[in-house]
Amino acid sequence: MQGTRVRALVWEDPTCRGAAGPVDHFGFHTDKTFKQRYLIADKHWKEDGGSILFYTGNEGDIIWFCNNTGFMWDMAEELKAMLVFAEHRYYGESLPFGANSFKDSRHLNFLTTEQALADFAKLIKYLKRTIPGARNQPVIALGGSYGGMLAAWFRMKYPHLVVGALASSAPIWQFENMVPCGVFMKIVTTDFRKSGPNCSESIRRSWDAISRLTEKGTGLHWLSEALHLCTPLTESQDVQRLKDWISETWVNLAMVDYPYESNFLQPLPAWPIKVVCQYLKNPNVSDTWLLQNIFQALNVYYNYSGQARCLNISETATSSLGALGWSYQTCTEMVMPFCSNGIDDMFEPHSWNFKEFSDDCFKQWGVKPRPSWIPTMYGGKNISSHTNIIFSNGELDPWSGGGVTKDITDTLLAIVIPEGAHHLDLRANNAFDPVTVLLARSLEVRHMKQWIKDFYASLRKMH
């Protein structure tokens, strides 16, 4: 793929390349390699006093993440930076076994955070070896969401390769016994409660309304019509699938409650939850009326463009995200407990049942999850021996409940953005950005400049 150009939205075109790396970094049984895709942009890069901003790719196509990480492009000139976006193994085009990568647990066995971090480490060493002028330059890891977790963990595990990390919306504590399992749904509910009168109450009442309507003979048919579903509901287990789909929609809206029109998971208006809540002002209406209002609300998320003829309950987000790989990861290492009680949140009560979760994983993938491995591997809450990591979180983002929101030391820093949703700070500058995110970004850049300065100071000492 050397040298093919990939279209990025508003910045220079990055060059798309591939680097061969081992499928298994930690065993010696196989020497099979695969091609890892990465994007590189060097318009503002300077050999003299420059830096390398390295995006630790997460669960999807790297071009999509590249197009949604405008902060790096906005900062490139100021930091004289080369930008590198590395694709995560098993996502996009970086498939270790090609079309067979998801065939069974034997082929998926190499989809772990440790292998992904090792890919990034090998790639950085390869770039420093092959790009003239890059050898003695500081590298900073950046990522959002799962990619933010990887950026933080990369600095923890490979501190000799990156001088620091910006971990945006990185829920590194959303694992067993570190935060309450209900905190996520509570934040989603707060977003809806604050976005319109009676909004969260209308949603809370909708679940029983759905149950009552579908108990009647013609209920499934009526609901399929009222919600304009592409595939009609035909049997009672479809009702739970419908409820899960609606719940996931509210969760996604909380994640992408941005202050301007965006197209991250779906094309959406500015402050989409406020728009949704305009349809959910009155919870004290009949079941049929309430569900018609719920349809109008769902339509904001699924049909803002006006192009959708019907709503598809098997799809909630862009196909650029790799749902298959992520499902396997949550069934192995990335075991994040969630629950709701219907009192502190607007969802149906649902307790966290590890045995049930584990059995489902075994049914789907033939694997058993290891819930305590990530805290064992990356230290859980015990991370104060590390340095130079910025954890940024938006208060509107449900993932902030599992994130680091208070400084741990003077170099493990927390930045909280009151009007921020999911990694808003990594998105491109926008005229509608709240002041709080502008402040967060300038703080992040200030720290990065310090890391770069410290790196060059210690380089000079060595020589």
List active site positions: 145, 397, 422
Whether the CB-CB separation of 195 and 204 falls below 8 Å is answered with no
Angle 322-2-25 from CA coordinates, rounded to 5°: 55
Here the tokens at position 48 are 């003299």
Q: How far is CA 123 from CA 31, 43, 72, 84, 149, in A?
A: 17, 20, 19, 10, 18
| Under 8 Å between Cβ of 198 and 282 | yes
Query: 435: which 2 tokens?
Result: 């002041």
Cα–Cα dist 88/149, whole Å: 13
Distance of CA 273 to the CA centre of its chain: 19
- Helix, strand and coil percent figures for the chain, each rounded to 5: 40, 15, 45
Helix (H) or strand (E) holding 36: strand 33-41
Q: Enumerate the β-bridge partners of residue 311.
A: 229
Residues near 90 by Cβ (< 8 Å), separated by ≥ 6? 96, 101, 102, 108, 111, 322, 325
Contact of 322 with 59, CB cutoff 8 Å: yes
Distance CA 425, CA 68 (A): 11
Backbone angles phi, psi at 273, to 5 degrees: -65, -35
Cβ-contact 423, 441 below 8 angstroms? no
CA angle 396, 258, 317 (to 5 degrees): 95
DSSP 113-126: HHHHHHHHHHHHHH
Q: How many CB atoms lie within 10 A of CB 84?
A: 26
Q: What are phi and psi of 311, to 5 degrees?
A: -105, 135
Rounded-to-integer distance, Cα 97 and Cα 90, Å: 9
**Angstrom distance (rounded) from CA 328 to CA 166:** 26
